[in-house]
Structure 1
Amino acid sequence: MKRVIPNCRHRLCSWHLEKNASTNVHIPEFPIDFAQLMLKKCKIDEFDNTWAAMVKQYKLENNNWVLNIYLKRDNWAEAYLRGHMFARMRSTQRIEDMNAHFNIFLDQKVRLYEFVAQYDRALARMRVNEAETESKTENSFPVLTTPLRSLEKHATELFTRKIFSLFRHEIRKEGKLFVMERVQLEDHRTYCFGEYKAPTCTWTVEYFPADITMKCCCLKFESFGIPCCHMIAVMKSKQLMCIPPSCILQRWTRRGRSKRQQPSLTQICSTLTQTARFGILCFCFSEMSYYASHADKDFEKAREIAFQLTSQMKKCWAIRK
């Protein structure tokens, strides 16, 4: 992988590592402590010290698996993987989830002609679920519940429903923070934050006013793509009414998909099944319907065109039949 895809950061599956820990270390408490340390968001020095204490506690200094897995810690420990984009994935759950979805429709004894039909059914179900989620995101807005109404309102207009809920959680966490120190430098300002009832926890955010960019030591934005509570605290301190563009990852926005170039007619294979063509058309007309529904004139125009086009397609379908 390093030779073929040199810029790709590899990560070992956390689920398999937990299974391996229980298989190779026959101490009931060790896999639990191992899993907690593996997923702990901390600095590298803190991870190494905690690991050494854990190995000493369970007397595993001579365990070969423990020694070998520690040498690979930069491929599985959250402390070493901070700042690398994994979109919160830390196991092979994407593959397993896809397998589970298709297992509902397929089995080992299915015939080839049955497989094609069942595969189309599985894809249709996925498209229906996705269309339902997109419709909810596009046509509704959550109720504002936090004190930072301006930032929260901007987030509802900007992010998908799922990402917005994660961002609102960060807004609520911001309430526990307080500014310990501000340092004005030549081209930027540094904020040092502490947490209520946790005096040993500190975070540093660098704020560059020239282009309104921020960089937090927790590296949550680099790791997942949403502003952390520490960056939100800086936004509050600077009286920002909107989330800065530098703190927005396009892939998590409502228009993340529409930015992509639509495939041309020559790119769409003529052998697509009816279900696949149906799914593509549903997405195209769903987006048109969203924009047309905002005004009476646009709504009437879109409805008239839809009636005409539907009538035309019915005639074509009848001729083919």
Structure 2
Amino acid sequence: MTASTIINCNEGKMPLSVITDGDPAMRNAIGKVLPAAHHRLCGWHLLRNVTSNVHNLLFTSLFGKCTFGDYDIGQFQRKWDEMVEKCGVEEHIWVKDLYDRRQMWATTHIRGNFFAGFRTTSPVEGLHANVGRFINFNNNLVEFVQHYQRCIDLMRFKEVRADFESSHGEHPLETPLRLIERSASKISTNIFFKVRTVLRKALTTRVVVLKQTSMCTIYSISKYRCSDYRWLVVVSSSMSEIKCSCLRMESNGIPCEHLLAVIAFLDMDEIPKCLVLDRWTKDAKVSREGLQNGVVDSLTACRYEALRERCRRMCKLASRSLAQFEETNSLIMSHSHKLELLDNGGVNQDENNVDECLDGDVRDPEMVRSKGFRRMLHKGVVEPSVLYTVVVVDA
């Protein structure tokens, strides 16, 4: 799939970020077609290339810490210099070229660019693996389409089930910050589990310095027994904007433990709206403008599953006695008839179809001679008046 095809599929909307395995042709295409997108190298492919090009296990281990470590620019530079000197690869050409491209792989230099928490291309590869369970090279074109449709149906079913569980399920509260955790569980999808993990980290974080200005309040945050390094959280006077120096909120879309520590310090009982992305909320599909057919079908199926679950117990209880069965059946039939009238605009569709059939001129289909008809007719196997060809057209 080319970069221009991706833009067409997104109705002209340019992607913010792109993760690839570092292929040169792909990198050049992204630079031309998606100049504003931030191009990141896949962490898994990067570590594999380091292993095959440097052939030093110590360098691979230290490089992984430099890649994913949460350092500022000064710390990253010191870590890199120590690693290169310790492994003796100062003059390695491939290592020099890799350092020149550090804006494409180092978390220190990528911080602030939104990647929704992804660091590798594993989600795409996982999608390929799911499709591979249904399709193989022995399939012809018809079998390919059939198996591919089965794969798509299964994926849509899982999405509908996840929507239903997210909308109607309740998560048990596990952290001492129960009010904040409850507010996150009410508005968030399954991203709530990541928020809960960050909430646990916030318990080991504390506010050490507070500075008040006319426009905002600045909080200095440190971890337990790690007072030598601090983060700064800036809160506007109107609480409409909250920023942290770690920029994890801008990178992952989830509040960091420093932001949540300030929220707990201020005795707030919910996460501010400025720290909640619409994409993580349960109403993301409903509030999005220009709903596509797939989204509408997903929401309809989700409501269907909710109604079926609620009716399951009612049917179990109503079937225990004849009187309860007749009463419940009468209510269901009455309400179903009412819904059908509303769906058809107040007109009974069945009666409409009957009137159309009576007004029209319905005739028998034409008799068509199939292959071997004369031979079968000569032997007396079939009668001329009962041999027809039926064509079913799937609309």
TM range (shorter): 0.7 to 0.9
Superposition deviation, residue 60 in structure 1: 0.4
What is the aligned partner in structure 2 of residue 85 from structure 1? 114
RMSD of Structure 2 on Structure 1 (CA): 3.2
Whole-angstrom CA distance in 1 between matches of 2:129 and 2:83: 36
Matched, 1:235 2:263: yes
User: What is the aligned counterpart of 1:51 among 63, 80, 86?
Assistant: 80
Superposition deviation, residue 116 in structure 1: 0.7
**Equivalent residue letter for 2:53:** N
Superposition deviation, residue 234 in structure 1: 1.3
**Equivalent residue letter for 1:180:** V
User: What is the aligned counterpart of 1:287 among 303, 306, 321?
Assistant: 303
Q: What does the per-residue CA deviation read over 1:10-29, in whole Å, with 9 as the maximum and x for residues that have no partner?
A: 00111111111111112122
What is the aligned partner in structure 2 of residue 245 from structure 1? 273
Whole-angstrom CA distance in 1 between matches of 2:82 and 2:56: 16
Change (3 A) 1:13 1:282: closer
Secondary structure at the counterpart of residue 203 of structure 1: strand
Superposition deviation, residue 108 in structure 1: 1.3
1:60-139 superposed matches below 5 A:
60-139=89-168
Superposition deviation, residue 120 in structure 1: 0.3
2:216/2:236 contact within 8 Å kept: yes
1:202-241 superposed matches below 5 A:
202-241=230-269
Whole-angstrom CA distance in 2 between matches of 1:103 and 1:120: 13
**Equivalent residue letter for 1:304:** S
Whole-angstrom CA distance in 2 between matches of 1:282 and 1:204: 42
Matched, 1:304 2:320: no
Change (3 A) 1:302 1:129: farther
Give percent identity, aligned residues only: 28
Secondary structure at the counterpart of residue 125 of structure 2: helix
**Equivalent residue letter for 2:111:** R
User: What is the aligned counterpart of 2:197 among 164, 169, 179?
Assistant: 169
What is the aligned partner in structure 2 of residue 39 from structure 1? 68
Secondary structure at the counterpart of residue 257 of structure 1: helix
Secondary structure at the counterpart of residue 132 of structure 1: helix
Superposition deviation, residue 202 in structure 1: 1.2
Consecutive unaligned residues of structure 1, counting only runs of 5 or more, are 269-275
Whole-angstrom CA distance in 1 between matches of 2:285 and 2:254: 17
Whole-angstrom CA distance in 2 between matches of 1:303 and 1:72: 65
Whole-angstrom CA distance in 2 between matches of 1:158 and 1:241: 14
Whole-angstrom CA distance in 2 between matches of 1:177 and 1:249: 23
When normalised by structure 2's length, the TM-score is 0.70
Secondary structure at the counterpart of residue 267 of structure 2: coil
What is the aligned partner in structure 2 of residue 17 from structure 1? 46
What is the aligned partner in structure 2 of residue 271 from structure 1? none
1:105/1:119 contact within 8 Å kept: yes
Whole-angstrom CA distance in 2 between matches of 1:251 and 1:291: 26
Change (3 A) 1:282 1:95: closer
Superposition deviation, residue 305 in structure 1: 6.5
Whole-angstrom CA distance in 2 between matches of 1:48 and 1:95: 32
Matched, 1:153 2:182: yes
Secondary structure at the counterpart of residue 202 of structure 1: strand
Change (3 A) 1:54 1:146: same
Whole-angstrom CA distance in 2 between matches of 1:186 and 1:300: 63
The size of the alignment, in residue pairs, is 302
